[in-house]
């Protein structure tokens, strides 16, 4: 099933390294990040799982739960955890779904047969508290993901959920943001009391409003 932005994230029940979950119940009112890795006991995946674990407190502070998945079973994930802690310096501190029947992989279209018949690609889904998909990313098996970029997008998504703004290219938390074109200049004066710079009628920049 192809998942598009704005779709409700498919719900499922699954066993994980932290016990059985129902995905939507597990998400509760939080934001969520569901990400797949191709295979346990492989080098790039080991570095990625360690990298996510090392940044867990930053996801927590953004009210965001993280959960991994691959087509390996929970027993395999449990065995692999020791290697992640040993080589990456951070113990795994979030659940990984055992998906040996490829239920989650199929629901989220994580197997791309022209890349690999059986293994999941490196997918990332950011899901809002409304359970809708806000971002999808797909990386090949050979490229480990950039956790800074995932946190950057999460910051952008959480900012634009609360204000009539968008974030420009290469935006980082604390930079100027773009005022939505649905807002008139008069409205912008009230909504953005720090003022704004008008480069074009359609391009107005204001200091980040939640800072
Ligand atoms: C890796 O994580 O290194 C990897 C996994 C599956 C295929 C290729 C590389």
State whether 120 and 171 are in the same domain. Answer: no
User: Which of these, 38, 110, 37, lies nearest to 68 by C-alpha position?
Assistant: 37
Tens of pLDDT, residues 94-112:
999 999 999 999 999 999 9
Tens of pLDDT, residues 123-161:
999 999 999 999 999 999 999 999 999 999 999 999 999
Phi and psi at residue 59, to the nearest 5°: -70, -40
What's the pLDDT band for 11 if we cut at 50, 70, 90? very high
| Residue of 45, 105, 133, 153 with catalytic role | 45
Q: Total structural domains in the chain? A: 2
Question: For residue 23, what are its two tokens?
Answer: 């995905």
Phi and psi at residue 76, to the nearest 5°: -65, -45
Helix (H) / strand (E) containing 135: strand 133-139
Q: 0.75 cut: is pTM over it?
A: yes
Establish if 3 belongs to a structural domain. no
Tens of pLDDT, residues 47-77:
999 999 999 999 999 999 999 999 999 999 9
Angle CA 203–207–211, to nearest 5: 145
Establish if 36 belongs to a structural domain. yes
Question: For residue 8, what are its two tokens?
Answer: 């409700």
- Please tell me if the CB atom of residue 39 comes closer than 6 angstroms to any atom of ligand 1: yes
- Please tell me if the CB atom of residue 47 comes closer than 6 angstroms to any atom of ligand 1: no
DSSP state at residue 94: S
Ligand 1 pocket mutation pick from 35, 42, 47 by most atoms within 8 angstroms of CB: 42
State whether 43 and 130 are in the same domain. Answer: yes
């Amino acid at each position: 099933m192809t998942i598009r932005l704005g779709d409700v994230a498919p719900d499922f029940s699954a066993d994980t390294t932290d016990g059985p979950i129902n995905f939507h119940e597990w998400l509760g009112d939080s934001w969520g990040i569901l990400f797949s890795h191709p295979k346990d006991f492989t080098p790039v995946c080991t570095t990625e799982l360690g990298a996510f674990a090392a940044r867990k407190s930053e996801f927590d502070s953004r009210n965001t739960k993280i959960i991994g998945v691959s087509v390996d079973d929970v027993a395999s994930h449990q065995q692999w955890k020791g290697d992640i802690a040993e080589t990456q310096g951070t113990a795994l501190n979030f659940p990984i779904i055992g998906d040996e029947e490829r239920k989650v992989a199929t629901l989220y279209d994580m197997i791309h047969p022209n890349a690999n018949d059986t293994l999941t690609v490196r997918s990332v889904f950011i899901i809002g508290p409304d359970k809708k998909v806000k971002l999808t990313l797909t990386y090949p098996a050979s490229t480990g993901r950039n956790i800074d970029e995932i946190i950057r997008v999460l910051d952008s998504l959480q900012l634009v959920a609360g204000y009539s703004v968008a974030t420009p290219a290469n935006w980082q938390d604390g930079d100027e943001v773009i005022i939505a074109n649905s807002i008139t200049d008069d409205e912008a004066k009230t909504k953005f009391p720090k003022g704004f710079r008008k480069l074009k009628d359609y391009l107005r920049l204001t200091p980040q409003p939640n800072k």
